[in-house]
Amino acid sequence: MIFYPMVVSAVAVLATLVYASYLDIKDRRVPFKTWYPMLVVGIIATIVLIYQQTGNISLILGYLALIASFFYADYLDNRDPEIPFRFSYLAAVLALPAISWFIIPALSTGKLPELQLIPWYVMFVGLFAYVSYREYKKRPGQKLKAKQLKKDGLMDSNVENVLTRWYFVLVIVILAIASIYMFINEGPLGATWIYIALAALFCGVFYVFGQMHLFGGADAWALIFIAFCIPTFPITPLLNTPPLGFLSFSVLINALILNLVAPVGIFIINIVKGNHAPFQYMFFGFPVKGEKIQQSWGFVMEDFVEKNGKIERKFIGFWDSLRRMRSDEGRIYTKDLREHPEEFEKELGLYRKAGTVWISYAVPFILPITAGFISAIVCGDFLFSLIRLLSGGV
């Protein structure tokens, strides 16, 4: 089976991923505007597909409500208090689900709106309205203060700040519940609603991961936008379509499997070169000369202290590394050493005295995502195919 709108979208997505990969390798940065061409083509193609399959305007608006919610959340998280608040954005975000869930179904059936969804919509409005009000009340200079509180962990002790930080998790749950409800109650048209529910949950997870610094910003947006632009497989892959047929999940699975090749290769290179470190670190890093560390790409994997003229070093543990990623504090990236050497004079001095420094390999994850995207469309889901093979399936 071929879904031609998704084929068009897949071409746009692939071209964007290749260009984004080039930018990430070159500058370790992918400007947000890089995704615009892919989004324009992908969103229009998905709307065409939904209309071709269902002719349901309510479903199309529900899909747009999901996308608008993500963009509005990103606007709230990154808005500059110096710029006037855009209430028109809030109005659009609140109007789309109201029209999708209540107005169009009521007009098309002549019945009262779905009462079961009203409490969820009230929660949806309340969450966005509350966070929007807090953002609107911010004065210039408060954004920096909020970021510092977040770094210091003080925001976690304040219920209001916790709600402001984590409200989008609840928004995603509400959107997913509404989509599942529509899936159950829309009869033959309901099958398409499940893609909105899956996209809400999938994209919500990676949006939160990105905000927690557990996932690269460009990598998280790449997976989110793939889910928006290509909710299902454009063609039947060689290994057949997995049961749910949700492309983004297969892209992620394939990317993770393909990304396992890099650690094995790094381990072999370290063995051949005679590099020595605790066993687990041999898979994820390699030593570089201290005086040339600014010429490399990666995160520093060791802590250094000078005592009585001697350099003491220890590898950063897994949980400590995870904590530093989440707090965005204490994790030293060679890019920062290169661009802001004045802020790391002490560290650079210790690295030179140490002679060598172990750093993590820095292959941008957007490369495995691109490979995962190509392999998912052409071959299918590697994990599903392996499970089916081991279970004796055809």
Find the length of the chain: 394
Query: Do 193 and 97 sit in the same domain of this protein?
Result: yes
Digit-coded pLDDT (tens) for 383-393: 988 888 887 66
The predicted structure's pLDDT at residue 6: 92
Domain range spanning residue 114? 4-246
Q: Is 188 exposed, middle or buried (0-12, 13-18, 19+ CB in 10 A)?
A: exposed
Query: Do 203 and 317 sit in the same domain of this protein?
Result: no
HSE-up of residue 136 (Cα within 13 Å, Cβ side): 12
Query: Do 233 and 301 sit in the same domain of this protein?
Result: no
Summary count for the chain: helices (H), strands (E)? 17, 4
The predicted structure's pLDDT at residue 149: 46
**In this structure, is residue 301 part of a structural domain?**
yes
Digit-coded pLDDT (tens) for 107-161: 877 666 667 889 999 999 999 999 998 888 876 655 545 455 444 444 444 555 6
**In this structure, is residue 274 part of a structural domain?**
no
Query: Do 204 and 295 sit in the same domain of this protein?
Result: no
Query: Do 212 and 67 sit in the same domain of this protein?
Result: yes
Q: Which among 195, 217, 246 is the end of a domain?
A: 246
Query: Do 38 and 180 sit in the same domain of this protein?
Result: yes
**In this structure, is residue 280 part of a structural domain?**
no
Mapping DSSP to helix (H, G, I), strand (E, B) and coil, where does residue 358 land? Answer: strand
140 token code pair? 């210039």
Q: Which of 206, 213, 165, 207 is nearest to 321 (CA)?
A: 213
**In this structure, is residue 136 part of a structural domain?**
yes
Q: Which among 227, 246, 265 is the end of a domain?
A: 246
Yes or no: say if 41 and 97 are a contact pair by the CB < 8 Å rule: no
HSE-up of residue 68 (Cα within 13 Å, Cβ side): 17
Position 181, amino acid:
Y
Query: Do 241 and 291 sit in the same domain of this protein?
Result: no
Yes or no: say if 279 and 231 are a contact pair by the CB < 8 Å rule: no
- What's the whole-model pTM score? 0.77
125 token code pair? 């409005």
**In this structure, is residue 390 part of a structural domain?**
no
Query: Do 216 and 94 sit in the same domain of this protein?
Result: yes
Cα–Cα distance, 200 to 93 (Å, whole number): 15
**In this structure, is residue 268 part of a structural domain?**
no
**In this structure, is residue 171 part of a structural domain?**
yes
The predicted structure's pLDDT at residue 156: 46
Mapping DSSP to helix (H, G, I), strand (E, B) and coil, where does residue 53 land? Answer: helix
Query: Do 162 and 58 sit in the same domain of this protein?
Result: yes
254 token code pair? 């394939």
The predicted structure's pLDDT at residue 196: 83
Query: Do 34 and 180 sit in the same domain of this protein?
Result: yes
Yes or no: say if 178 and 199 are a contact pair by the CB < 8 Å rule: no
Regions of the chain short of the pLDDT cut 70:
1, 110-114, 139-165, 185-191, 213-214, 322, 324-330, 362, 392-394
Query: Do 89 and 198 sit in the same domain of this protein?
Result: yes
Query: Do 98 and 197 sit in the same domain of this protein?
Result: yes
Instruction: Give me the number of domains the chain comprises.
Output: 2
The predicted structure's pLDDT at residue 364: 78
